[in-house]
A and B are shown apart, each in its own frame.
Chain A
Amino acid sequence: DAGVTQSPTHLIKTRGQQVTLRCSPISGHKSVSWYQQVLGQGPQFIFQYYEKEERGRGNFPDRFSARQFPNYSSELNVNALLLGDSALYLCASSLRGRGEAFFGQGTRLTVV
């Protein structure tokens, strides 16, 4: 059974550009959460989606947006990239929002 898959694995973008990160949850999982992990820090919550509805949003600017599709996969979009957006972006899925969370390998975004 495939785990949580994220794409791409690595990405380099220029300041001001836009980026879309993708996440496919474990089959049957309806909850997807996104986290940002800056080097040397623990992950920070960005969004949670459950049954295609936003259930929570962390303390991130409006440049960050996300959505969940009918097949429960999810996209995270970041507009007007800043150098400070360079981080590892992690996606986690769970059966229900309160279940055990399973993480993908992450997308490492570098903004230059």
Chain B
Amino acid sequence: KNEVEQSPQNLTAQEGEFITINCSYSVGISALHWLQQHPGGGIVSLFMLSSGKKKHGRLIATINIQEKHSSLHITASHPRDSAVYICAVRGGTQGGSEKLVFGKGTKLTVNP
């Protein structure tokens, strides 16, 4: 079982829909990241969370530390939101390294 599980793996929505992507993790963490990856590879950091909720424009990220669960919400989705969204946690279980452990990503396609 992967340390970080994302659902769904693929998501297709119509423009304007409310989107939710979920992330569950099985290890103790110091922070959780939500990242966006477009075709071609570059990764953009959307949020870094250690508790509660953060909002940036149409994006909202929440985390429940007790339940080891985080969600990324996109309101009023737009075709330009089409990308792979990746959840990554930082716990550091190898000799104190501060590595990120990634989920496999959720591929979001928003149709006009």
A contact set with B: CB distance below 8 Å: 31, 33, 35, 37, 40-45, 48, 50, 55-58, 88, 90, 92, 97-98, 100-106, 108
Instruction: Give B103's nearest chain A residue, CB to CB.
Output: A42
Say if the beta carbon of B99 comes within 8 Å of chain A: yes
Interface size class of B (residues with CB under 8 A): 20 to 34
Could you tell me the distance between the alpha carbons of A89 and B92 in the complex, rounded to whole angstroms?
20
User: Interface centre among B42, B45, B48, B92, by most A CB within 10 Å?
Assistant: B42
The answer to whether A98 and B104 touch (CB under 8 A), given A42-B86, A103-B45, A105-B42, is: no
For window 80-100 of B, CB contacts with A under 8 Å fall at 86, 88, 90, 92, 94-100
Q: Are the CB atoms of B90 and A98 closer together than 8 Å?
A: yes
Kindly list chain B residues whose C-beta atoms are within 8 Å of the C-beta of A40: 104
How many A-B contacts are there with CB distance less than 8 Å? 77
Pair B97/A42 contact, Cβ less than 8 Å: no
Question: Assuming A101-B45, A108-B41, is B99 touching A45 (CB within 8 A)?
Answer: yes
CB distance from A52 to the nearest CB of B (A): 15
- Say how far B96's CB is from chain A's closest CB, in angstroms: 7
Q: Are B102 and A55 in contact (CB under 8 A)?
A: no
CA A78 – CA B90 in complex, angstroms?
25
Bound CA span A108–B30, Å: 30
A45's partner among B30, B100, B105 (CB-CB below 8 A) is: B100
**A35 CA / B41 CA spacing, docked (Å):** 12
Inter-chain contact A48/B35, CB cutoff 8 Å: no
Q: Give 4 closest A-B pairs by Cβ, nearest first.
A: A56-B97, A42-B102, A97-B98, A103-B43
Selected from A43, A57, A108, the residue in CB contact (under 8 A) with B102 is A43
